[in-house]
Amino acid sequence: MGTTAHVVVLGGAEPLLDLARARLDELERRWSRFQPGSEICRLNAAQGRPVRVSADTVLAVRTAIAAWKLLNGAFDPTVLDALEQAGYDRTFAEIPARAPAPAAEARAIPIVPGCAGIEIDPLVRAITLPAHVRLDLGGIGKGLAADLVAESLIGAGAAGALVNVGGDLRVAGASPHPFGWTVDLDHAPGGRVALTEGGLATSATTKRRWQIGNSVRHHVIDPTTGTPAQTGVASATVIARRAVDAETLATAALTAGMDDGIALLEAHDASGLLIDDQQERRATQDLGDLVGSRR
């Protein structure tokens, strides 16, 4: 998934960690857009033909569509063409930090098509993408993977579990302390939260960045423009019922901007912290004192 994973298990037998590693490897093989044989790559290459996939991939695509509908397109998994045109057309480690500007010929800004035409046949586990639609499950895949692995660990006998996949984090079951799991917020120095159950995720424009000519780009695409988001928000951290919910809400809040982003989180009963390009902080009411918001 182009990142690192951190798994902590309370109770249960040592092989539970092997189970977690195997499950994460399995999900990456199915969802990575950088492994040509993955189910997502086969879907994206199908040109409008149905593709039979695993139950995991049906769940991932169904979850992505549900988030797209719930957030009125503010989260959109069909941004792959836009991501590639922005320069994220290979693994991040392979993208040069600085590259010359392309030739002067005009290039159309990709339209982010949305999920309306995606069809799922649950009986045969087949998915059909319209010929002009290609999926990227990068962020939502990490959040969903954290949820699935944490739940599988509890189901296999762990008393409690914390699964962190590249910053998309899920805690389930028992906690190591009465107040829960203590989680430092990397994008908010000095900020930390205590989680007893649920998910946390951060969407940020400050880590996966590169430069083409004089243009600095990042991986968070604004679905309304088809280009890297320029809303003044550097990072959005969200706490929600599941890691996948936190991930999609964080992406939507970042692309909405500071004021609309906070309003969006409160409308969906989520807690969150937004930090702008000047390091000003704004948080939902329940997190304000905890993370030093200046709201």
Which of residues 151 and 96 earns the better pLDDT score? Answer: 151
Distances (CA, A) of 38 to 8, 31, 42, 122, 253: 28, 6, 6, 19, 30
Res 247: pLDDT: 97
For residue 95, what pLDDT band results from cuts at 50, 70 and 90?
Answer: low
pLDDT of 232 over the 80 cut? yes
Res 186: pLDDT: 78
d(C-alpha 146, C-alpha 183), whole Å: 15
Give the per-residue SS3 of 64-126.
HHHHHHHCCCCCCCCCHHHHHHHCCCCCHHHCCCEECCCCCCCCCCCCCCCCCCCEEECCCCE
**Cα dihedral sign for 26, 32, 35, 40?**
positive
Res 66: pLDDT: 98
d(C-alpha 121, C-alpha 178), whole Å: 45
**Domain-embedded: residue 279:** yes
Which of residues 13 and 27 earns the better pLDDT score? Answer: 27
Residues 6+ apart with CB under 8 A from 119: 50, 127, 128
Please write the tens of the pLDDT for every residue from 128-137: 999 999 999 9
Query: How many other CB atoms sit within 10 Å of the CB of residue 110?
Result: 20
Average pLDDT score over residue span 57-71: 98
Which of residues 7 and 98 earns the better pLDDT score? Answer: 7
CATH code where residue 190 lies: 3.10.520.10
Structure tokens given for 215: 């243009």
**Domain-embedded: residue 31:** no
Please write the tens of the pLDDT for every residue from 261-284: 999 999 999 999 999 999 999 999
pLDDT of 209 over the 80 cut? no
Domain that includes residue 245, residue range: 175-295
Q: Average per-residue pLDDT in the chain?
A: 89
d(C-alpha 179, C-alpha 214), whole Å: 48
d(C-alpha 221, C-alpha 249), whole Å: 14
The identity of residue 140, as a single letter, is I
**Domain-embedded: residue 259:** yes
3-state secondary structure at position 27 = helix
Q: What is the number of structural domains in the chain?
A: 1
pLDDT of 293 over the 50 cut? no
Among residues 118, 59, 247, the alpha carbon closest in space to that of 170 is found at: 247
Please write the tens of the pLDDT for every residue from 19-48: 999 999 999 999 999 999 999 999 999 999
Distances (CA, A) of 255 to 258, 268, 275: 9, 16, 12
**Domain-embedded: residue 211:** yes
**Domain-embedded: residue 116:** no
Alpha helix positions (H), the chain: 15-31, 39-44, 55-70, 80-86, 138-155, 243-256, 258-267, 288-291
**Domain-embedded: residue 9:** no
**Domain-embedded: residue 244:** yes
For residue 86, what pLDDT band results from cuts at 50, 70 and 90?
Answer: confident
Average pLDDT score over residue span 153-172: 96
pTM (two decimals): 0.91
> Following CA atoms 261, 117, 53, 223 in sequence, which dihedral angle do they give, to the nearest 10 degrees?
-30
d(C-alpha 293, C-alpha 282), whole Å: 5
**Domain-embedded: residue 217:** yes
Among residues 240, 21, 252, the alpha carbon closest in space to that of 143 is found at: 240
Please write the tens of the pLDDT for every residue from 45-61: 999 999 999 999 999 99
d(C-alpha 12, C-alpha 154), whole Å: 9
